[in-house]
Amino acid sequence: MSTFSAHPNEINKVKVLVVGDSGVGKTSLVHLLVNGEVLTKSSWTIGCSVEVKIHEYREGSPGHRPYFVELWDIGGNNSHKSTRHLFYTSVHGIILVHDLANRKSQQNLRQWLVEVLLKEKSNPGSRDALVDNFDAEQFGALAKVYRANKIPVLVVGTRLDDLAETRPTASLPRTSPAFSASSLADACSADELSVSCLDVRSVAPGSGNAVKLSRFFDRVIDGQIHCNGRPGPLYSGQPNYGLKMRYP
Ligand SMILES: Nc1nc2c(ncn2[C@@H]2O[C@H](COP(=O)(O)OP(=O)(O)OP(=O)(O)O)[C@@H](O)[C@H]2O)c(=O)[nH]1
Ligand SMILES: [Mg+2]
């Protein structure tokens, strides 16, 4: 959070989706990023929850100005799979979240990315079939779709604390290179972070993770400005700081 001098009504906004399997820590991560504190009590997200972070775009440069970043935290439970594409419109950035100790959650990141990128397929049945039958071989096609969309991606691995406490490095779950979060990050020119959502030091100002996050939000805003040829839509009326919405 920060203070700023611009009139609140003149602050622009971008929309960032936060997706990944249920239980990987998306809500905990968003809470940490927006409030700078650990979420002590979390429950499954039903539908979607939105929190707004103020990001200092290009801080320290002449183009510096505050921006609202809407973090759309999508519930990962599969029971909402056929309806959650409703949240995937007008997206400026994507945060893919996986649990560092859960290989499956890492492998599933590809499907999450495909699901978001194929949002425009209007028939939910055919879209779900496409997403479900997607395999590693088709990754080239995905990369093509991704390049056409040019939406910045950030890959975040959670539960770093769990790994540090309970597992020697040698016993980390192995993922074949084709399915690893790193290869996905490479294909999307994305930065990768490892965090503990239970430790505020994970994203402390000045840390490597904080720098990567700031760079990601700058890229998201760059993309939106480039895409529109002008700054993004304004919040009309009084903005709602720390806004929290839930859908449905
Ligand atoms: N040890 C540890 N626990 C974590 C971490 N991140 C999240 N958790 C815990 O994991 C559980 C699930 O976290 P949530 O943030 O609710 O997960 P989610 O991804 O939002 O799940 P859905 O809303 O169902 O999609 C909670 O009990 C969190 O406290 C982490 O980095 N380390
Ligand atoms: Mg959640």
Domains in the chain, ordered, with CATH? 12-246 (3.40.50.300)
Q: How far is the CA of 63 from the centre of ligand 2 (A)?
A: 34
Mean pLDDT of 211-240: 69
Q: Residue 85 pLDDT > 70, yes or no?
A: yes
pLDDT bin (cut points 50, 70, 90) of residue 189 is confident
- Within 6 A (CB) of ligand 1 lie 22-28, 42, 44-45, 75-77, 158-159, 161-162, 196-198
Query: Nearest ligand to the C-alpha of residue 95?
Result: 1
Joined tokens for residue 209: 């993770």
- pTM score: 0.84
- The model's pLDDT over 113-150, given as tens digits with 9 standing for 90+, comes to 888 887 755 455 555 555 566 565 566 666 666 667 67
Q: How far is the CA of 36 from the centre of ligand 1 (A)?
A: 16
pLDDT bin (cut points 50, 70, 90) of residue 237 is very low
For residue 202, the ligand 1 atom closest to its alpha carbon is 31
Distance, C-alpha 89 to centroid of its chain = 14
Report d(CA 152, CA 227) in Å as an integer. 12
**In whole numbers, what is the pLDDT of the chain averaged over residues?**
80
